[in-house]
């Protein structure tokens, strides 16, 4: 006689809906049967806060029918964008729930008919749904106020001399490839070339949906270990570079910038040359006196355009600084950046004597170093966003 799974509606992918767990390399997915519906896992007001989202959608729909809705065009567009985001979130949740209901029905029919093929079909559909659940989890982690925003990224060479400057250039390439795969647009706002290779620092603007939400996972010090191409004796060298990311703040958020707190000057571009580099004194440099933050932009075509971009970057940095103050403790990644050298890295990229990339925060690692340096970062980014903790934090890669 053929043996079927128990009438547990979520075998394999969910196990027992009433409070059990399934552990994957990065996460534990919890499935809870709702008392209102035997086939529904998660209450609608649970971790995804579906009740609040549906109420908010209904409220925006009512507001959009008011005669004066478009009197404030900026506010109206912001509300419609929020509604679209909420609808996508609720729709994805409902799609998963329909899939789970269908799979449960299939399993019940299979048990009644003693049909092993149908049971396997149901279990297979549950395995595929697990990937959708992971996407819902990630979406929940990308629900911050600015997570959907464009962002700015700074890459700064640290300890390691010429190798660290070359390493900054390698990171620039890695993140450019990652952004291109996401369909995001990358622009260099400012760059200071190294004397022999790479960059002392480079500043990017990244435009795309959830650019800040994803890339904030990369903030910290990155460590490279390899046989140095700049060492005549071909010795193994260690180099460091830091990455900082902050959101592009839209006009709906007011950042107070009194004129007395700003020092603005225009200087000659410092690029290596070429058609895209300024040759006149149009590079804008802003200094925010209360914080000491300095922003330089040189890639726009005019003084006014560079000035506008510099203010936009400064507003993003001040917003990020204020968010950290409100949290009552500096972000862990910020603390890791205090010294761009040994003992402060979040991730090690080892090319010699063996090959491995290991994230010291999450424990995620891979031997396919070339793939990572080509921008395949999703495994590392997702684990960090989902809050995975490395039980051996501090051991690192040699």
pLDDT at 57: 92
**What's the pLDDT score for residue 252?**
57
Angle at which helices 50-64 and 73-113 cross, to 10°: 140
Closest Cα partner for 63 from 47, 75, 46, 48? 75
- For residue 124, what are its two tokens? 């297979």
70: exposed, middle or buried (Cβ count in 10 Å: 0-12, 13-18, 19+): exposed
The structure's pTM equals 0.63
pLDDT in tens, 58-112: 999 999 999 999 998 888 888 888 888 888 888 888 888 888 888 888 888 888 8
User: Given this model, what pLDDT does residue 181 score?
Assistant: 95
pLDDT at 234: 86
Q: Say what the pLDDT of residue 106 is.
A: 81
- Does position 10 have pLDDT exceeding 80, yes or no? no
Cross-strand pairs, 239: 224
Report the mean per-residue pLDDT for the chain: 78
DSSP states along 70-139: GGSHHHHHHHHHHHHHHHHHHHHHHHHHHHHHHHHHHHHHHHHHT-HHHHHHHHHHHHHHHHHHHHHHHH
- pLDDT band, residue 11 (cuts 50/70/90): very low
Q: Which of these ranges, 21-30, 42-51, 140-149, 382-391, has the smallest mean pLDDT?
A: 21-30
Q: Do 228 and 236 meet the contact criterion of CB atoms below 8 Å apart?
A: yes
Q: Provide the pLDDT for residue 253.
A: 61
Q: 23: pLDDT confidence band, cut at 50, 70 and 90? A: very low
Q: Mean pLDDT throughout 259-268?
A: 79
* Band of pLDDT at residue 273, cut at 50, 70 and 90: very low
């Amino acid at each position: 006689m053929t043996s079927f799974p128990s009438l547990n509606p979520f075998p394999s992918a969910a196990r027992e809906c009433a409070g059990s767990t399934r552990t994957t390399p990065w996460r534990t997915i919890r499935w809870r049967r709702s008392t209102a519906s035997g086939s529904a896992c998660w209450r609608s007001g649970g971790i995804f806060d579906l009740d609040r989202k549906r109420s908010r959608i209904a409220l925006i729909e009512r507001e959009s029918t008011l005669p004066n809705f478009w009197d404030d065009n900026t506010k109206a567009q912001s509300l419609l964008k929020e509604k679209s985001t909420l609808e996508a979130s609720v729709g994805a949740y409902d799609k998963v729930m329909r899939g789970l209901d269908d799979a449960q029905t299939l399993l019940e029919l299979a048990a009644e008919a003693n049909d092993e093929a149908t049971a396997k079909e149901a279990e297979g559909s549950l395995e595929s749904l697990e990937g959708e659940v992971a996407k819902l989890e990630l979406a929940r982690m990308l629900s911050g106020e600015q997570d959907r925003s464009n962002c700015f990224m700074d890459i700064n060479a640290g300890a390691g001399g010429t190798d660290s400057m070359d390493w900054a250039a390698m990171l620039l390439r890695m993140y450019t490839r990652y952004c291109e795969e996401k369909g995001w647009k990358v622009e260099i706002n400012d760059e200071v070339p190294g004397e022999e290779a790479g960059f002392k620092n480079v500043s990017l603007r990244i435009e795309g949906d959830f650019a800040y939400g994803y890339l904030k996972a990369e903030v910290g010090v990155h460590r490279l270990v390899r046989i140095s191409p700049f060492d005549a004796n071909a010795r193994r060298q260690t180099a460091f570079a830091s990455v900082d990311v902050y959101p592009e703040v839209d006009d709906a958020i007011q950042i107070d910038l009194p004129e007395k707190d700003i020092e603005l000057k225009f200087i000659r571009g410092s690029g290596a040359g070429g058609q895209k580099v300024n040759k006149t004194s149009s590079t804008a440099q802003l200094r925010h006196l209360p914080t000491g933050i300095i922003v330089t932009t040189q890639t726009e075509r005019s003084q006014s355009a560079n000035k506008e971009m510099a203010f936009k970057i400064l507003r993003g940095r001040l917003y990020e600084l204020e968010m950290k103050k409100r949290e009552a403790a500096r972000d862990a990644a910020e603390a890791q950046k205090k010294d761009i050298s040994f003992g402060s890295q979040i991730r090690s990229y080892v090319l010699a004597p063996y090959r491995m990339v290991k994230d010291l925060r999450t424990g995620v690692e891979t031997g396919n170093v070339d793939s990572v340096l080509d921008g395949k970062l999703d495994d590392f980014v997702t684990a960090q966003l989902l809050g995975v903790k490395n039980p051996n934090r501090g051991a690192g890669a040699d």
